[in-house]
Amino acid sequence: MPPPEHSAIRRFLLARGNSAIADRVFRALMILCALSIFGIVVLIAWQLIERSQLSWQAFGFNFFWKTYIDPTTGLPSYWDPVNGYFSALPFVYGTLVSSLLSLLLAVPLAIGVAIFLTEMCPGLLRAPLAFLTELLAAIPSIIYGLWAVFVLVPLLRHYVNPFLIKSLGWTGFFDDSNPTGLGFFASAVILAIMILPIISSLTREVMTAVPHSQREAVLALGATRWEMIRMGVLRNARVGIVGGVILGLGRALGETMAVTMVIGNTPEIHRSLLANGASMASVIANEFTEAVTDMHLSALIEIGLALFIVTIIVNAIARLLVWAVTRGAPATQR
Amino acid sequence: MRQEFKTRTRLRGVVDKAATFLAVLSTLLVILPLVAIFIYLIIKGASSLNLDFFTKIPAPVGESGGGMANAIVGSVTLLALASLIGVPVGIGGGVYLAEFGRGTKLANAIRFTADVLNGVPSIVMGLAAYSLIVVPQHHFSAFAGGIALGIMMIPTICRTTEEMLLMVPHAVREAALGLGVPNWRSVISITVKTASPGIITGCMLAFARVAGETAPLIFTALGNDFWSTSLNEPIAALPLQIYVYAISPYDDWHRLAWAGALVLIVLIVLAVSLVRFVTSRGVLKGTS
């Protein structure tokens, strides 16, 4: 990186005795702080790789998709710390099912909110509503979990689940084997509530970055407001919206506490969305302090490593997409 | 022909109305859980809040009463430790990005990494802190919890500091340098000072975010039913205590969990509103 051009006075000042040394030291310190961010990523990766060696050497790639047969019951079994075999398949499945289902619930709502706030909302309401959705993002996951356990789950148990079983039971995705109200569906609902603000605020950001001339051009051709939004705004912002959705997915994949409290925590795979399950993050939170054998700990850390790698990739893709839209957009520049 | 045009126009109007309706509906649907959460927190939390909650440690199983005094103090301790690590390093990184590294490849890479690190699940940070500190020490400790939270603060603070510093006009820097002030001095007492309200709000945001974190504390700070006397032993934390009480089978503990949640959310909302207030007043717009 070439140093910036300095003026003659600046050069003179920089060359003056102690300030030259102090400046260099200061600069080096600041670079060190900035480089620590790389350091943290490397440190996390190194620690997790080292501590998961035991389980990696014992199971290899089988760790993520092998199904074992329980010798006493003859049923498929995946995760048995007592008999010493570990397969992360049910957790990968639980994570994917709950986060994809939550995206399905959250994305249309988030885009609706963003459209309302940027294109339709009267100016007076805009700031308070935007503040409220941001507040939703500031609530800690433990409070969502608490609310889900005592309010959402009973609600699902008594009203929503019976309705789903009656109307959609024929698909096989909703059966009545689990009367608790916990499970994949409950965690997907709470996840949807949690990732909504992230998706909607990013969508809002890219939508405001669309230049006004685009809207005016479409309106000038006689389009209605919805046609203007669809053709002038959404079409221009779609890459950024996809980025926001992927960022929401990244959040959903790693969300721990709220999911742990409502998913049921059983290492099983069920077709029914109302069944109990477990996710990658929930099994770590739930079993880590109780794990006694080295292999059990190592297997849990390997799940953590997988979660780390997946979220890094997902977040990197999302950031690149959002940046591609907002960088250099006229509306965001001051 | 004319008839067809008319029906098409009417159809477009209907679609437009329907889209407006759906957008309003989704906004209402999103506000609904927020309102519900706050109503429940206030009703259930306020009825269980009393002086004991702030002054007593948890009662043994089976006895009623007790409070979360040790958890509140524990949370404050953990957050202080976290800020000790996160605030200086985060601000330093932000200063580099805004003052020295503008437009360089290194700065872009750091900015990108910080954004990506921000999305890494907190439980992974906890695992890293566990394997880095708890395993070699053979016991859980407040240090491990504080370091896990501190690491989580760095990327957030770094990015907000950078954004705030970028808003400081060049004339301010040039004026300082023109008076013969060394560069490091000008950065610390002119640029950073000018942007300090914004930087402080960035720190508050990061603070509010880690204040509610539970996952990384489960296997670093662990929690403690009594007062901790040293940073080298397990320590209680408010979110951790809420978790333990929420999944317990006792009604009395559920009440305490709601009260704890109310205290936590009041702290966080206060912090966020303060941020909102300071940034909306546009302290940075002028060159005070």
Please tell me the predicted confidence (pLDDT) of residue A110.
Answer: 93
CATH for B51-56+66-280 is 1.10.3720.10
Chain segment B91-132, per-residue pLDDT in tens: 999 999 998 888 889 999 999 999 999 889 999 999 999 999
- A136 and B183 within 8 Å at the Cβ level: the answer is no
Kindly report the nearest CA distance between residue A35 and chain B, in angstroms.
Answer: 7
Looking at the complex, report in whole angstroms how far the Cα of residue B51 sits from the nearest Cα belonging to chain A.
22
Minimum distance, in Å, between the CA of residue A251 and any CA atom of chain B:
7
Which among B105, B120, B184 has CB closest to A1?
B105
Cβ distance of A140 and B211 shorter than 8 Å: yes
CB A299 within 8 A of CB A284: no
First to last CA, chain B: 66
Give residue-wise pLDDT tens across range B41-79.
Answer: 999 888 888 888 888 888 777 777 778 888 988 998 999
pLDDT of residue A99: 94
A326 pLDDT higher than 80:
no
SS (H, E, C) chain B: CHHHHHHHHHHHHHHHHHHHHHHHHHHHHHHHHHHHHHHHHHHHHHHHCCHHHHHCCECCCCCCCECCHHHHHHHHHHHHHHHHHHHHHHHHHHHHHHHHCCCCHHHHHHHHHHHHHHCCCHHHHHHHHHHHHHHHHCCCCHHHHHHHHHHHHHHHHHHHHHHHHHHCCHHHHHHHHHCCCCHHHHHHHHHHHHCHHHHHHHHHHHHHHHHCCCHHHHCCCECCCCCCCCCCCCECCHHHHHHHHHCCCCHHHHHHHHHHHHHHHHHHHHHHHHHHHHHHCCCCCCCC
Confidence of residue B288 (pLDDT cuts 50, 70, 90): very low
What 8-state DSSP symbol labels residue A5?
Answer: P
Model confidence band, residue A330 (pLDDT cutoffs 50, 70, 90): very low
Note the pLDDT tens digit of each residue in A2-53. Answer: 556 667 766 666 666 556 788 888 999 999 999 999 999 999 999 999 999 9
Residues 167-186 in A contacting B (C-alpha not used; CB under 8 Å): none
Give the single-character DSSP code of A82.
Answer: T
From chain A, the residues in CB contact with B258 under 8 A are 146, 150
Q: Which residues of A touch B253 (CB under 8 A)?
A: none
Do B25 and A41 count as a contact with CB atoms less than 8 A apart?
no
* Interface probe with B: pick from A11, A37, A189, A221, most Cβ of B within 10 Å: A37
Res B185: pLDDT: 86
Nearest CA distance, A260 vs chain B (angstrom): 10
For range A136-161, the mean pLDDT: 90
Most A CBs within 10 A among B16, B21, B30, hence the mutation to make, goes to: B30
Distance CA A195, CA A199 (A): 6
The pLDDT value recorded for residue A228 is 92
pTM greater than 0.90 (yes/no): no
Which candidate from B115, B208, B261 shows the least CB-CB separation from A319?
B115
- The predicted model gives B158-173 an average pLDDT of 90
Express as a percent the part of chain B with pLDDT over 70: 95
Task: Find the residue in B nearest to A285 (Cα).
Answer: B215
- Predicted confidence band of residue A321 (pLDDT cuts 50, 70, 90): confident
- Written as six digits, the tokens of A67 are 């199904």
Q: Would you state the structure tokens that stand for residue B88, as one six-digit string?
A: 């200086």
A150 at interface of B, judged by CB pairs closer than 8 A: yes
For testing contact with chain A, the best of B26, B238, B277 (most A CBs within 10 A): B26
Q: In the 8-state DSSP scheme, what is residue A277?
A: B
Tracing tokens 């994305």 back to the chain, one arrives at A107
How far apart, in whole angstroms, are the C-alpha atoms of residue A214 and residue A331? 12
- Could you tell me if residue A187 is left (phi over 0), alpha (psi between -120 and 50 degrees) or otherwise beta? alpha
Q: Is the pLDDT of residue B239 over 60?
A: yes
Domains in chain B: boundaries = 2-48, 51-56+66-280
State the pLDDT at residue B287.
38
A88 touches chain B (CB under 8 A): no
Q: For residue B48, give Cα distances in angstroms to A101, A147, A151, B43, B65.
A: 36, 16, 17, 9, 10
- A304 neighbors A56 (Cβ within 8 angstroms): no
Q: How many residues does chain A have?
A: 334
The residue in chain A having the minimum alpha-carbon distance to the alpha carbon of residue B251 is A150
Calculate ∠ Cα B57-B62-B63, nearest 5°.
Answer: 50
Q: How does the average pLDDT of chain A come out, rounded?
A: 86
**Residue ranges of A 263-292 with Cβ closer than 8 A to chain B:** 281, 284-285, 288-289
**What percent of chain A is modeled with pLDDT above 70?**
92
pLDDT recorded at residue A329: 46
Cβ within 8 Å of residue B284, ≥6 positions away = B164, B167, B168, B194, B195, B197, B198
Q: What is the pLDDT of residue A206?
A: 87
Nearest by CB to residue A115, choosing from B23, B99, B215, is B23
pLDDT band at A97 (very low <50, low <70, confident <90, very high): very high
Q: What pLDDT does B285 receive? A: 44
Q: Do A44 and B120 touch (CB under 8 A)?
A: yes
Question: In this predicted structure, what is the pLDDT of residue B281?
Answer: 61
For residue B83, what are the contacts with CB-CB under 8 A and spacing of at least 6? B150, B153, B203, B207
Beta bridge partners of A277: A264
Q: In this complex, is the C-beta atom of A317 within 8 Å of any C-beta atom belonging to chain B?
A: no
Q: How many CB atoms lie within 10 A of CB B135?
A: 12
A238 touches chain B (CB under 8 A): no
Q: Work out the pLDDT band at B34, boundaries 50, 70, 90.
A: confident
Q: Is pLDDT of A105 > 50?
A: yes
> What token pair was written down for A48?
């997790």
H helices present in chain A, as ranges? 8-15, 17-51, 53-59, 89-115, 123-138, 141-147, 153-155, 161-168, 184-209, 212-220, 225-227, 235-254, 257-262, 280-287, 294-326
